[in-house]
Protein backbone atom coordinates (compact mmCIF):
# COMPACT_ATOMS: atom_id res chain seq x y z
CA UNK A 1 0.00 0.00 0.00
CA UNK A 2 1.31 3.45 -0.86
CA UNK A 3 2.09 5.62 2.15
CA UNK A 4 0.40 9.00 2.71
CA UNK A 5 3.79 10.71 2.41
CA UNK A 6 4.54 8.93 -0.86
CA UNK A 7 1.03 9.79 -2.16
CA UNK A 8 1.48 13.50 -1.41
CA UNK A 9 4.97 13.41 -2.94
CA UNK A 10 3.62 11.90 -6.17
CA UNK A 11 0.94 14.58 -6.40
CA UNK A 12 3.54 17.32 -5.93
CA UNK A 13 5.83 15.85 -8.59
CA UNK A 14 2.92 15.47 -10.98
CA UNK A 15 1.88 19.07 -10.39
CA UNK A 16 5.39 20.28 -11.17
CA UNK A 17 5.46 18.24 -14.38
CA UNK A 18 2.11 19.57 -15.55
CA UNK A 19 2.94 23.18 -14.75
CA UNK A 20 6.13 22.88 -16.77
CA UNK A 21 4.15 22.20 -19.93
CA UNK A 22 2.93 25.28 -21.82
CA UNK A 23 -0.88 25.55 -21.72
CA UNK A 24 -1.23 22.22 -19.91
CA UNK A 25 -2.51 23.95 -16.77
CA UNK A 26 -5.43 25.29 -18.80
CA UNK A 27 -6.54 21.93 -20.24
CA UNK A 28 -9.58 19.75 -19.44
CA UNK A 29 -11.68 22.28 -17.53
CA UNK A 30 -15.05 21.17 -18.94
CA UNK A 31 -16.87 18.90 -21.36
CA UNK A 32 -17.00 21.16 -24.43
CA UNK A 33 -14.66 20.87 -27.40
CA UNK A 34 -14.19 22.49 -30.80
CA UNK A 35 -16.41 20.73 -33.32
CA UNK A 36 -14.70 22.15 -36.38
CA UNK A 37 -11.28 23.70 -36.78
CA UNK A 38 -9.97 25.76 -39.66
CA UNK A 39 -6.68 27.27 -40.71
CA UNK A 40 -5.34 30.31 -42.53
CA UNK A 41 -3.84 29.67 -45.96
CA UNK A 42 -0.81 31.78 -45.05
CA UNK A 43 0.23 28.90 -42.78
CA UNK A 44 1.10 26.79 -45.83
CA UNK A 45 2.65 29.53 -47.95
CA UNK A 46 6.00 27.75 -48.25
CA UNK A 47 4.40 24.40 -49.04
CA UNK A 48 2.23 25.95 -51.74
CA UNK A 49 5.26 27.55 -53.37
CA UNK A 50 7.03 24.21 -53.55
CA UNK A 51 4.21 21.75 -54.31
CA UNK A 52 0.84 21.14 -55.93
CA UNK A 53 -1.92 23.05 -54.13
CA UNK A 54 -4.35 20.14 -54.24
CA UNK A 55 -1.86 17.81 -52.60
CA UNK A 56 -1.12 20.35 -49.87
CA UNK A 57 -4.79 21.04 -49.13
CA UNK A 58 -5.47 17.31 -48.97
CA UNK A 59 -2.75 17.03 -46.31
CA UNK A 60 -4.45 19.71 -44.22
CA UNK A 61 -7.77 17.90 -44.57
CA UNK A 62 -6.12 14.63 -43.51
CA UNK A 63 -4.93 16.39 -40.36
CA UNK A 64 -8.56 17.11 -39.51
CA UNK A 65 -9.04 20.69 -40.74
CA UNK A 66 -12.54 21.19 -42.10
CA UNK A 67 -12.55 24.95 -42.77
CA UNK A 68 -10.35 27.18 -44.90
CA UNK A 69 -9.64 30.91 -44.86
CA UNK A 70 -7.52 32.64 -47.46
CA UNK A 71 -6.93 33.15 -51.13
CA UNK A 72 -8.55 31.22 -53.96
CA UNK A 73 -6.23 28.59 -55.42
CA UNK A 74 -6.19 26.91 -58.82
CA UNK A 75 -7.28 28.20 -62.21
CA UNK A 76 -10.73 29.35 -61.14
CA UNK A 77 -12.93 29.85 -58.04
CA UNK A 78 -15.17 27.03 -59.28
CA UNK A 79 -12.28 24.57 -59.53
CA UNK A 80 -11.12 25.60 -56.06
CA UNK A 81 -14.58 25.19 -54.52
CA UNK A 82 -15.19 21.80 -56.14
CA UNK A 83 -11.87 20.46 -54.93
CA UNK A 84 -12.44 21.70 -51.38
CA UNK A 85 -15.81 19.94 -51.37
CA UNK A 86 -14.17 16.72 -52.53
CA UNK A 87 -11.81 16.67 -49.53
CA UNK A 88 -14.41 17.78 -46.98
CA UNK A 89 -12.99 21.25 -46.44
CA UNK A 90 -15.25 24.31 -46.63
CA UNK A 91 -13.95 27.72 -47.77
CA UNK A 92 -15.34 30.11 -45.16
CA UNK A 93 -13.61 33.47 -45.51
CA UNK A 94 -11.31 35.40 -47.81
CA UNK A 95 -9.70 38.80 -47.95
CA UNK A 96 -11.02 41.83 -49.80
CA UNK A 97 -9.54 45.16 -50.76
CA UNK A 98 -9.92 47.97 -48.20
CA UNK A 99 -10.57 50.98 -50.36
CA UNK A 100 -12.81 54.00 -50.83
CA UNK A 101 -13.43 52.69 -54.34
CA UNK A 102 -16.40 50.33 -54.00
CA UNK A 103 -16.01 49.16 -57.58
CA UNK A 104 -12.61 47.80 -56.60
CA UNK A 105 -14.07 46.16 -53.50
CA UNK A 106 -16.83 44.62 -55.63
CA UNK A 107 -14.26 42.76 -57.72
CA UNK A 108 -12.93 41.08 -54.56
CA UNK A 109 -16.43 40.14 -53.44
CA UNK A 110 -17.31 38.60 -56.79
CA UNK A 111 -14.41 36.17 -56.42
CA UNK A 112 -15.40 35.23 -52.87
CA UNK A 113 -18.95 34.49 -53.99
CA UNK A 114 -17.72 32.31 -56.85
CA UNK A 115 -15.65 30.33 -54.34
CA UNK A 116 -18.65 29.83 -52.06
CA UNK A 117 -17.27 31.81 -49.15
CA UNK A 118 -19.48 33.30 -46.43
CA UNK A 119 -17.25 36.03 -45.02
CA UNK A 120 -15.35 38.92 -46.58
CA UNK A 121 -12.44 40.12 -44.44
CA UNK A 122 -10.52 43.40 -44.37
CA UNK A 123 -7.22 42.38 -42.81
CA UNK A 124 -5.97 45.97 -42.46
CA UNK A 125 -8.95 48.34 -42.15
CA UNK A 126 -6.79 51.44 -42.29
CA UNK A 127 -5.38 53.83 -44.87
CA UNK A 128 -2.38 54.53 -42.59
CA UNK A 129 0.21 52.43 -40.81
CA UNK A 130 -0.50 53.49 -37.22
CA UNK A 131 -0.44 54.23 -34.39
CA UNK A 132 -3.93 55.44 -35.13
CA UNK A 133 -5.56 58.75 -34.33
CA UNK A 134 -9.20 59.76 -34.01
CA UNK A 135 -9.31 61.15 -37.54
CA UNK A 136 -7.96 57.84 -38.88
CA UNK A 137 -10.76 56.03 -37.05
CA UNK A 138 -13.43 58.29 -38.53
CA UNK A 139 -12.18 57.61 -42.05
CA UNK A 140 -12.03 53.86 -41.42
CA UNK A 141 -15.53 53.78 -39.93
CA UNK A 142 -16.97 55.42 -43.03
CA UNK A 143 -15.25 52.95 -45.35
CA UNK A 144 -16.13 49.95 -43.16
CA UNK A 145 -19.81 50.86 -43.20
CA UNK A 146 -19.76 51.24 -46.98
CA UNK A 147 -18.04 47.88 -47.42
CA UNK A 148 -20.47 46.29 -44.98
CA UNK A 149 -23.43 47.58 -46.98
CA UNK A 150 -21.90 46.27 -50.20
CA UNK A 151 -21.20 42.88 -48.60
CA UNK A 152 -24.83 42.61 -47.52
CA UNK A 153 -25.98 43.29 -51.09
CA UNK A 154 -23.64 40.53 -52.24
CA UNK A 155 -24.94 38.02 -49.69
CA UNK A 156 -21.69 38.12 -47.70
CA UNK A 157 -20.93 38.84 -44.05
CA UNK A 158 -18.23 41.44 -43.48
CA UNK A 159 -15.54 41.50 -40.78
CA UNK A 160 -12.45 43.55 -40.09
CA UNK A 161 -9.39 41.94 -38.53
CA UNK A 162 -7.62 43.47 -35.54
CA UNK A 163 -3.96 43.79 -34.61
CA UNK A 164 -2.37 45.12 -31.43
CA UNK A 165 -2.31 48.77 -32.53
CA UNK A 166 -6.09 49.02 -32.20
CA UNK A 167 -5.60 48.71 -28.44
CA UNK A 168 -3.18 51.61 -28.04
CA UNK A 169 -4.69 54.71 -26.43
CA UNK A 170 -5.43 57.68 -28.68
CA UNK A 171 -7.08 61.08 -28.06
CA UNK A 172 -10.39 59.47 -27.08
CA UNK A 173 -10.12 55.89 -25.91
CA UNK A 174 -8.87 53.07 -28.11
CA UNK A 175 -9.25 52.58 -31.87
CA UNK A 176 -10.76 49.10 -31.38
CA UNK A 177 -13.62 50.46 -29.31
CA UNK A 178 -14.17 53.36 -31.68
CA UNK A 179 -14.48 51.10 -34.71
CA UNK A 180 -16.81 48.71 -32.93
CA UNK A 181 -19.04 51.41 -31.48
CA UNK A 182 -19.30 53.59 -34.59
CA UNK A 183 -19.81 50.96 -37.28
CA UNK A 184 -23.25 49.55 -38.04
CA UNK A 185 -23.82 46.39 -35.98
CA UNK A 186 -25.85 44.75 -38.74
CA UNK A 187 -23.17 45.40 -41.37
CA UNK A 188 -19.75 45.23 -39.71
CA UNK A 189 -18.32 42.57 -37.40
CA UNK A 190 -14.83 41.73 -36.14
CA UNK A 191 -12.68 38.72 -36.87
CA UNK A 192 -10.91 38.75 -33.52
CA UNK A 193 -7.26 37.73 -33.43
CA UNK A 194 -6.69 36.38 -29.92
CA UNK A 195 -2.93 36.85 -29.99
CA UNK A 196 -3.04 40.48 -31.12
CA UNK A 197 -5.66 41.35 -28.51
CA UNK A 198 -3.38 40.05 -25.76
CA UNK A 199 -0.29 41.61 -27.35
CA UNK A 200 -2.13 44.93 -27.28
CA UNK A 201 -2.66 44.59 -23.53
CA UNK A 202 -6.36 43.64 -23.55
CA UNK A 203 -8.16 40.57 -22.23
CA UNK A 204 -9.69 38.45 -25.03
CA UNK A 205 -12.48 37.17 -22.76
CA UNK A 206 -13.49 40.70 -21.74
CA UNK A 207 -13.44 41.84 -25.37
CA UNK A 208 -15.73 38.95 -26.34
CA UNK A 209 -18.13 39.79 -23.54
CA UNK A 210 -18.22 43.50 -24.29
CA UNK A 211 -18.94 42.92 -27.98
CA UNK A 212 -21.08 39.83 -27.79
CA UNK A 213 -22.72 39.13 -31.13
CA UNK A 214 -20.16 41.16 -33.09
CA UNK A 215 -17.34 38.59 -33.26
CA UNK A 216 -18.20 35.52 -35.38
CA UNK A 217 -14.63 34.32 -36.10
CA UNK A 218 -11.54 33.81 -33.95
CA UNK A 219 -7.93 33.62 -35.10
CA UNK A 220 -6.14 31.10 -32.91
CA UNK A 221 -2.44 31.64 -32.33
CA UNK A 222 -0.36 31.51 -29.17
CA UNK A 223 2.12 33.79 -27.41
CA UNK A 224 5.63 32.66 -26.46
CA UNK A 225 7.21 33.41 -23.09
CA UNK A 226 9.99 35.54 -24.57
CA UNK A 227 10.77 39.22 -24.33
CA UNK A 228 9.15 39.96 -27.69
CA UNK A 229 5.98 37.98 -26.89
CA UNK A 230 6.48 36.20 -30.20
CA UNK A 231 3.78 34.31 -32.09
CA UNK A 232 3.93 30.57 -31.56
CA UNK A 233 1.82 27.56 -32.54
CA UNK A 234 -1.33 27.05 -30.43
CA UNK A 235 -0.70 24.97 -27.32
CA UNK A 236 2.94 25.95 -26.99
CA UNK A 237 2.54 29.36 -25.35
CA UNK A 238 0.80 31.11 -22.48
CA UNK A 239 -2.64 32.04 -23.81
CA UNK A 240 -5.53 30.59 -21.79
CA UNK A 241 -7.51 29.16 -24.69
CA UNK A 242 -10.01 27.17 -22.56
CA UNK A 243 -11.33 30.33 -20.90
CA UNK A 244 -11.57 32.11 -24.26
CA UNK A 245 -13.23 29.17 -26.00
CA UNK A 246 -15.67 28.68 -23.13
CA UNK A 247 -16.92 32.25 -23.58
CA UNK A 248 -16.93 31.91 -27.38
CA UNK A 249 -18.90 28.67 -27.13
CA UNK A 250 -21.41 30.35 -24.81
CA UNK A 251 -21.92 33.02 -27.47
CA UNK A 252 -22.32 30.50 -30.27
CA UNK A 253 -19.12 31.38 -32.13
CA UNK A 254 -18.48 28.61 -34.66
CA UNK A 255 -15.34 29.51 -36.62
CA UNK A 256 -11.81 29.01 -35.22
CA UNK A 257 -8.84 29.41 -37.56
CA UNK A 258 -5.31 28.39 -36.59
CA UNK A 259 -2.69 30.91 -37.61
CA UNK A 260 0.99 31.53 -37.13
CA UNK A 261 2.65 34.31 -39.09
CA UNK A 262 5.84 33.63 -41.06
CA UNK A 263 6.01 29.94 -40.20
CA UNK A 264 8.56 27.85 -42.13
CA UNK A 265 7.01 24.43 -41.50
CA UNK A 266 3.33 25.25 -41.78
CA UNK A 267 2.13 21.66 -41.97
CA UNK A 268 4.17 20.80 -38.90
CA UNK A 269 2.57 23.64 -36.95
CA UNK A 270 -0.88 22.65 -38.18
CA UNK A 271 -0.26 19.08 -37.01
CA UNK A 272 0.78 20.04 -33.48
CA UNK A 273 -1.99 22.64 -33.28
CA UNK A 274 -4.64 20.10 -34.24
CA UNK A 275 -3.33 17.62 -31.66
CA UNK A 276 -3.62 20.29 -28.97
CA UNK A 277 -7.00 21.67 -30.02
CA UNK A 278 -8.62 18.25 -30.51
CA UNK A 279 -7.64 17.25 -26.98
CA UNK A 280 -8.69 20.56 -25.44
CA UNK A 281 -11.78 20.68 -23.24
CA UNK A 282 -13.36 23.83 -21.89
User: 22 in a domain, yes or no?
Assistant: no
- Give start and end residues of each alpha helix (H) in the chain: 4-19, 45-50, 53-62, 77-86, 102-114, 134-153, 175-182, 194-199, 204-210, 241-251, 266-279
Report d(CA 87, CA 106) in Å as an integer.
29
User: 23 in a domain, yes or no?
Assistant: no
DSSP 165-190: GGGS--SSS-HHHHHHHHS-TTT-EE
User: 54 in a domain, yes or no?
Assistant: yes
**What's the CATH code of the domain at 241?**
3.20.20.150
User: 15 in a domain, yes or no?
Assistant: no
pLDDT of residue 30: 86
pLDDT of residue 23: 63
- pLDDT beneath 70: ranges in the chain: 1-29
pLDDT of residue 208: 98
Render pLDDT for 251-266 as a digit per residue (tens, 0 to 9): 999 999 999 999 999 9
Burial group, residue 270, by CB count within 10 angstroms (0-12, 13-18, 19+): buried
Q: Which domain holds residue 252?
A: 30-279
Q: Which of 137, 157, 139, 138 is closest to 92 using CA atoms? A: 157
Q: Which of 184, 97, 112, 180 is closest to 149 using CA atoms? A: 184
User: 19 in a domain, yes or no?
Assistant: no
User: 21 in a domain, yes or no?
Assistant: no
Report d(CA 96, CA 208) in Å as an integer.
24
Structural contact between residues 29 and 246, judged by C-beta atoms closer than 8 angstroms = yes
Report d(CA 153, CA 155) in Å as an integer.
6
User: 16 in a domain, yes or no?
Assistant: no
Residue 222: strand pairing partners: 232
User: 138 in a domain, yes or no?
Assistant: yes
Report d(CA 246, CA 277) in Å as an integer.
13
Pairing of strands 222-223, 231-232: antiparallel
Q: Which 3 state secondary structure label does DSSP give 48?
A: helix
Q: What's the start-to-end Cα distance of the chain, in Å? A: 35
> What is the DSSP secondary structure assignment for residue 226, as one 8-state letter?
S
Domains held by the chain: number: 1
Amino acid sequence: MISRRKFISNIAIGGIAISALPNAVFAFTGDNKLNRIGYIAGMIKNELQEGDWKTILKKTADLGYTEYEGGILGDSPKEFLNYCKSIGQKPIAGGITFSKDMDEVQISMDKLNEAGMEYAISYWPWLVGGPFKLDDCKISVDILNQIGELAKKNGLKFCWHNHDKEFLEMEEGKPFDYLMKHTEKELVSCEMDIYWVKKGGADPVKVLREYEGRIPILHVKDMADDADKSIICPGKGNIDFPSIFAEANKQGIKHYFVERDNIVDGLGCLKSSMEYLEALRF
